[in-house]
A and B are shown apart, each in its own frame.
Chain A
């Protein structure tokens, strides 16, 4: 294997890592504020891919149709996220297992509905105009779409960081992640906060679904496939920090992508190895928030 092909592989690992990062962000955000693990996050991702695809098909030929459909995927899924949050509300006072079971039930339902309406055939999404080519630098071939996705991931990360660090909502979210009772005491309207957070998380998942579509294909079963990878991310990175999620996304993305070179049939195995090592060495994840 030449250095150039290693770099190639590294960049596609980074790209996949960015997709995982967009999902992990939402998962950590929702968990941090609401203490709910959204098992249906992968289902939202799959829905984003399908819904966005249909929007794109309807707008076919229009300039910017790809970008409009990314936005549409995010927004449509965000609306669904708000509905889910509304249905989840009566369960906040219950045991954690009830909330987990609720989102788990949603995985089953969404998975089957997608199969019912759009199952059977795989759909493929071309790269958006302007990003179909490659960049060649000294034998290293980089698809420009990969670079674009990496850019989107970094921009989202920075945007979220700004939101958390500079805005009132961000302050509230950070306070909630650190100590949920505090926020209640501060007189913040929790229902609105929860809905907002769930909406943002769902938006990111939906948009990620369509953004990732040109990398592979859109089909049933992508929900569970991606959620297992995202779970590997949160196990490696912990649920308590965005930095951990970022770092772990990149690690899992790279491990998975290089794993394909070694064992194309079952690259997931390597992801599990990382997970298992982390579980033995640091059961609380790679990055832990001080004082917790």
Chain B
């Protein structure tokens, strides 16, 4: 099969299935699909840093959480409507990412990972202790979507539209000169600097882009979940996009999406039987790193290349 035609066919099938899903399955599965969409966007945002810029962040939940809290606070504390709150929570997250990224982008390799973990923990402490603003460990409750998005199906379509748009934007960014520049930095920062690229500044910009899209995912989550709590900022939450991306493959644009699908599937099967989700995540990370570098996407990419050569 011609790989390009195969990809197009796969895309059409996926899109049709995504649109038709609520007619075919019970509400529970619609919710699960919604969770997958949010996870996929979360993982894609992580991969802007990891797969495209070569920076391994252990604090991606920071921005997921900021987006989630921003939406809740705009609605509950500022009394804004859903649309305005949603639209505002994204620039707010980007701003937070700009501030935190200013410091984190000064560090590379493990120092970057250390810093993102540390800043994530700081935000977690703030969210769980600042009772007057965040209601502490209890979280902010009953953050409801508007009437028009009130049912599981309707909210699913809303998520689908937002995630599809965001994914298209991320794809375009990856394919733009900016995206190429980030990839050059991933491959060889010293060489990038020598061809005139201000590496630190571009790493910072990548950080802001990544944070903003994580914020979109977080905002989507709040009104999906009807509540937001500090667990959304916890470091174990940051492990989710890591394991999704590793599973799906960081070197393929769609890798994190594939990984999110596998992750959600696991969550569905194991979630009922085990409380020990971090344990599973950790074991999967170890196994994938050791035995399947490149993830599922790695195999897929190899297969596509192989097919293209024939």
Task: Give residues in A with beta carbon < 8 Å to B.
Answer: 31, 37, 39, 87, 90-91, 94, 96-98, 100-102, 104-109, 111-113, 115-116, 224, 227-228, 231-232, 234-235, 239, 265-266, 268-269, 272, 275-276, 279-280, 283
Contacts and interface: CB of A to CB of B under 8 A. Distances in A.
Contact of A105 (B109, B111, B114, B289): B289
A108 B103 contact: no
A9 B113 CA distance: 32
A30 B252 CA distance: 33
Nearest to B235: A224
Nearest to A272: B122
18 contacts: A37-B110, A37-B114, A39-B58, A90-B290, A98-B293, A100-B56, A101-B242, A104-B285, A105-B282, A105-B285, A106-B286, A116-B279, A224-B235, A227-B117, A235-B118, A272-B118, A280-B103, A283-B106
B257 interface: no
Name the residue among B114, B122, B125 with the largest chain A CB count within 10 angstroms. Answer: B114
A101 B289 contact: yes
Contacts of B235: 224
Nearest to B284: A105
B126 interface: yes
Interface in B276-310: 276-279, 281-283, 285-286, 289-290, 293
A279 B293 contact: no
A234 B122 CA distance: 17
B154 interface: no
Interface residues of B, number: 37
- Across the A-B interface, the 4 shortest Cβ-Cβ residue pairs: A108-B282, A112-B279, A105-B285, A109-B282
Q: Which of A91, A115, A228 has the most CB of B within 10 A?
A: A228
Interface string B95-133: 000000001001101110111011101100110010000
Contacts of A234: 114
A105 B56 CA distance: 14
Contacts of B239: 104, 108
Given A108-B285, A115-B276, A116-B279, A283 B107 contact: yes
A102 B56 CA distance: 13
Contacts of B285: 101-102, 104-105, 108
Interface string B33-74: 000000000000000001000001010000000000000000
Most buried by B among A96, A97, A113: A97
B293 A94 contact: yes
B231 interface: no
* Main secondary structure on B side of the interface with A: helix
Given A228-B118, A268-B125, 14 more contacts: A37-B110, A90-B290, A94-B293, A100-B110, A101-B242, A104-B58, A108-B239, A108-B281, A108-B282, A109-B278, A109-B279, A109-B286, A275-B115, A275-B118
Given A94-B293, A105-B289, A268 B122 contact: yes
B196 to A, nearest CB: 22
B56 A116 contact: no
A112 B282 contact: yes
A94 B291 CA distance: 12
A87 B121 CA distance: 28
Contacts of A232: 118
Given A104-B285, A265-B129, A268-B122, A235 B111 contact: yes
B214 interface: no
B236 interface: yes
A266 B246 CA distance: 34
Nearest to B122: A272
A91 B279 contact: no
A105 B117 contact: no
Interface string B216-241: 00000000000000000001100100
A136 B121 CA distance: 38
Interface string B261-287: 000000000000000111101110110
B56 A108 contact: no
A266 B125 contact: yes
A39 B238 CA distance: 14
A228 B282 contact: no
Given A101-B289, A104-B285, A276-B103, A96 B110 contact: yes
A231 B106 CA distance: 15
Contacts of B106: 279-280, 283
B114 A269 contact: no
Nearest to B136: A265
Given A234-B114, A268-B122, A272-B118, A107 B289 contact: no
Contacts of A96: 109-110
A239 B109 CA distance: 13
A87 B276 CA distance: 22
B198 to A, nearest CB: 15
B129 A97 contact: no
Contacts of A115: 276
A104 to B, nearest CB: 7
A159 to B, nearest CB: 27
Contacts of A94: 293
A109 B286 CA distance: 10
Nearest to A107: B282
A113 B279 contact: yes
Contact of B279 (A108, A224, A265, A269): A108
B103 A91 contact: no
Given A104-B242, A106-B282, A112 B276 contact: yes
